[in-house]
Amino acid sequence: MVGEVKYGYCPICGAAGKSRERRPDGNDVCANGHTYSSRSSIPFNPKETKEERAIGLCRELILYCYTWHDLRPSEARQKLLSIFDNETITKAFDDISSKQEVSDG
């Protein structure tokens, strides 16, 4: 699933982090085998465009609205209109409904 990355992304090649050492100042290893400090891992996918990141963030916020505020999809959309443009919100809703996480209405 998009956005299901536990350890961020490799600062060398941009691949998802595969493992993380459980100690302070530990290292991560990416899917391509690079080792780097956990602190230098990139929290967002560096291969995504700014628009894709906005959609991903919007998507998280919609799910957050449903889960924690018990809002209907149309109410969540209204709230998010102060942050995102309509197109971004629509794409985020499309992304969610394509994965059957919630239905718009």
Q: Which residues form the interface with Zn ion (CB under 5 A)? A: 10, 12-13, 15, 30, 32, 34
* Cβ proximity to Zn ion, 2 vs 13, nearer residue: 13
Residue 28, strand partner residues = 20, 36
DSSP H or E stretch at residue 30: strand 27-30
| Cβ 30 to Zn ion shortest distance, Å | 3
Beta carbon of residue 14, minimum distance to Zn ion (angstroms, whole number): 7
End-to-end, the C-alpha distance of the chain in Å comes to 23
Nearer to Zn ion, 26 or 78 (CB): 26
